[in-house]
Amino acid sequence: MFLSKIFFILLALAAAIAATFAVIAPRPFERRMGTLEGQRLDRAQYAAEQMFKVDAHKWIDHVGKLGRDAIIAESLDAASRGSGEYTVIHRTIQDRFRTLIPDLASGGIDSIVALDTKGRVIARVGENEKEYGDYIGGAEIIADALRGYLSDDVWGVNGRLQRLAAAPVLSKNRDRMVGAVYVSAETGPALVERLKRNLDVDVALLLRGKVIASSRGPGELDALPDLLTRHAKEIETAKRTQPILMTVGKQDVIVVAAPFPGQAGEQQAFYALVGEHPANNGITALFANATSDDLKWGVFPWLKLAAGMFGAIFVGLALQRMEHDSPIGRLRRELQKLASGDVHKIQDSSYGGKVGGLARDINAAVERFTHAPTQRSDIAGKDLNAILGPSGGSTFDLPAADSAFSGGGPAPAFAPPPSSGFAPPPPPSSFAAPPLPTFAPPPVPTFSAPQPFNAAALGFGGNSSGSDGGAAMAAEETRQDPLPLPGTTRASAWGQPAPSAPEYEPPANSDGDATRVVPYDEEEEEEAHFRHIFDDFIAKKRDCGESTVGLTRDKFLQKLRDNKASLVAKHNCRTVRFSVYVKDGKAALKATPIRE
């Protein structure tokens, strides 16, 4: 049982460890996936930043080429100098712009604006192209262009983000500045789609606390402005955020945001890259996300799993058989043998653990029932086997001093054994028929039994059959109870057979007929008892299938006499009564010392 217990404990531990792994393992994986997604967003943000830079440079190059156009330069020179018709100059520049860039939309341009050296708008193409003449030279990018710089900027005006690039327009001789040109492109859904396509992440654009464009569903990222406001300090110093975890509905997303450059940066203009946070990878999610491919033979270690499972079952069953089933089976077979009398006890030393304890308990119980002590005697009966050799039987106790056999009163010689507290030896039936086969009454007719010793009351005269003596005694008991010794009547009640009486003459009737008294010869009675024991012993041996070869009456009787003499001498008893019984399938003898 020990190994089985250990095995099951180990099995439970292994199952617990496996369950722990199943619960815990996804978490580091989830963290790792989150980290990797954050790193991917970092790289995407860097890529977006580089893309914006390249875009800005491309716009600057573009607008620089426009500034080098001769017609535009001459027109702006005239406008700056105040020469020429203002309206004509306006139309000339517009036409030139349309010629150079026939399709603004395909180039992603919202508008192209030409300004003179005072910052006055001379011509527009695209948005508000009919308006001109206004001054916008205060804008930093325009002022920079009029100082001679080519630069870019991002504006957040009227709830829209605009990327701008401006360049100075030099005179035909390239010796002075005659104006400036700038292009603007709205930075909205088109940019979002482009970023999403190139970076494979969701993109959102924010301006002044509002999401102005997003590749996700409307309203999904409404919490983003507040989130970025909380990271304003980080954005100000690092010009970007670390990956931030954000909940969108029931989904977690990772956000990396960075400010736009230029004056839009002052207007809380950000672009945010949104990545999917790894899904909850608990056990439920693991099973929910598993596909049939995960369970294919080449992927899942079915053979190892089956081998492990059957191995565990085999080991468990083997241990159970070794420690439980097999010992129990052996014990049962031994118990059957014990019940059938083939063995005296169980070989408890061959069992271990609790089965061994059980075997020892059974042995102890058998021992207790077999060798139960009497209540009133501590003198053990002598095993005739020790006297007669291999054919001896077990022992039983000497009757108590006050029993019918003890001779406390004028008890008959063949009084039954005391009943109170007496545990008859197994099987009691052998004792139930004490042999008094042919008792010859003594020839002395003048024997007068004492008054209490009433032979008829003891059943001596009632019936010649020993087996019926008990019944006869019971019948007499109902009639009268001449004997004060309870042991006598109780013996009848116990069913103990009364010794067979010799031929019995009924007592004289009241009209004076003489009572016939049978003389008692103790030696003869003993001889008859020995012969009866011999006959009974032979019969029992035959019943048990034992051989009786070599067992002669004379030798047997002589042996009984010798044993009687030694027992009488040893126990200082009056005589010894023998009985035959079957023990372990063999006929056996018991000796009962009889005191006075």
Question: Computed over its alpha carbons, how large is the radius of gyration of the chain?
Answer: 63
Kindly tell me which of 158 and 446 has the beta carbon lying closer to another protein.
158
Kindly tell me which of 157 and 190 has the beta carbon lying closer to another protein.
157
Buried b / exposed e across 538-558, counting CB within 10 Å, b at 16+? bebbeeeebeeeeeeeeebbe
Q: How many CA atoms lie within 13 A of 411 on its CB side?
A: 28
CB of 242 to another protein, least distance (A): 19
Kindly tell me which of 151 and 463 has the beta carbon lying closer to another protein.
151
Kindly tell me which of 265 and 469 has the beta carbon lying closer to another protein.
265
Which residues are near another protein by CB under 8 A?
A: 52-53, 56-57, 60, 117-119, 134-144, 146-154, 157-158, 164, 167-168, 170, 174-177, 208, 261-263, 265-267
CB of 265 to another protein, least distance (A): 7
| Residue recorded with tokens 């009084």 | 415
Residue 325 corresponds to which amino acid?
D
Kindly tell me which of 143 and 279 has the beta carbon lying closer to another protein.
143
CB of 29 to another protein, least distance (A): 37
CA distance from start to end of the chain: 58
Kindly tell me which of 150 and 228 has the beta carbon lying closer to another protein.
150
Kindly tell me which of 123 and 146 has the beta carbon lying closer to another protein.
146
Contact between residue 332 and residue 317 where contact means Cβ atoms under 8 Å apart: no
Tokens standing for 488?
A: 């006598």
Kindly tell me which of 142 and 411 has the beta carbon lying closer to another protein.
142
| Residue recorded with tokens 């009974």 | 536
| Residue recorded with tokens 């890529």 | 47
Collapse the DSSP code of 406 into the 3-class scheme (helix H, G, I; strand E, B; otherwise coil) and give the result.
coil
CB of 124 to another protein, least distance (A): 13
CA 110, CA 1: separation in Å to the nearest integer?
Answer: 87
CA 246, CA 228: separation in Å to the nearest integer?
Answer: 11
CA 21, CA 507: separation in Å to the nearest integer?
Answer: 102
Contact between residue 412 and residue 457 where contact means Cβ atoms under 8 Å apart: no
Kindly tell me which of 151 and 394 has the beta carbon lying closer to another protein.
151
CB of 71 to another protein, least distance (A): 18
Whether the upstream peptide bond of residue 427 has omega within 30° of 0, thus cis, is yes
Q: Is 301 exposed, middle or buried (0-12, 13-18, 19+ CB in 10 A)?
A: exposed
Q: How many CA atoms lie within 13 A of 373 on its CB side?
A: 6
CB of 172 to another protein, least distance (A): 12
CB of 232 to another protein, least distance (A): 13
CB of 256 to another protein, least distance (A): 19
Contact between residue 118 and residue 82 where contact means Cβ atoms under 8 Å apart: no
15 to 7, 23, 63, 75, 312: CA distances (angstroms): 12, 12, 71, 86, 12
CB of 40 to another protein, least distance (A): 24
CB under 8 Å to 125, separation ≥6 — which residues? 94, 97, 98, 101, 104, 111, 112, 113
CB of 212 to another protein, least distance (A): 15
Kindly tell me which of 42 and 140 has the beta carbon lying closer to another protein.
140
